[in-house]
Amino acid sequence: MRATMRRAPLALLALSLLGCPRATPTTPPRAVTPDAPAPHATPPVDAAPPSADALVLVPGEGFGAFSLGMTRTAAVALGERVRELGGPFVNVDGFELQFSDETPAGQLVSVQSALAPLTGGVRVGDKVLSNGATWREVVDAVGPCEAPQQNDGGEVTVCQGGALRVMRAGPTQTLMLGVARR
């Protein structure tokens, strides 16, 4: 009983302090609007002019410096790092190129690149895709697209009648963009 009586004045003091007005004024907290979008450092898809580093992708025509129909000799001459991948395939500065045959006169029939290393982004029509865009953001921006086709180790989504492909491949599901002739 004595212990309860000792605690009672402390409890009353605590309650009375809670009910007393403060001597210093406080500013009310800022209202948070739940509909406000979260700020992004770089929007994943933007309808603005590309940065100077953005590569232009034209479905069915070309990607960056590579135009479909150019010869193997001309395409390889554009690169600093060239690696023969065998057969009709060559990697030039991170772009995977496929030619109609293995001769220097063979024509470029498809170009693809991973999106992540393209720090300036990729412009497709009036949209600029950042290198951090997701598969869904890319497909929505470049459509119309067919349903994804499942392959060993990844999937391919064919867009714009086959002129553009959006791919996810490997254990990390690396996002890649590619162009080919229709």
- How many DSSP H helices and E strands does the chain contain? 3, 14
Q: Are strands 82-86 and 89-92 parallel, antiparallel or unpaired?
A: antiparallel
| Chain segment 15-42, per-residue pLDDT in tens | 333 344 444 444 443 333 333 343 444 4
Share above pLDDT 90 across residues of the chain, in percent, rounded to a whole number: 53
| Chain segment 113-128, per-residue pLDDT in tens | 999 999 899 999 888 9
Domain ranges in the chain are 49-180
Q: Find residue 96's DSSP bridge partners.
A: 91, 112
Q: Is 6 exposed, middle or buried, given 0-12, 13-18 or 19+ CB atoms closer than 10 A?
A: exposed
Q: Work out the mean pLDDT of the chain and round it to a whole number.
A: 78
CA dihedral 134, 137, 140, 146 (to 10 degrees): 10
Q: Are strands 95-99 and 55-58 parallel, antiparallel or unpaired?
A: unpaired
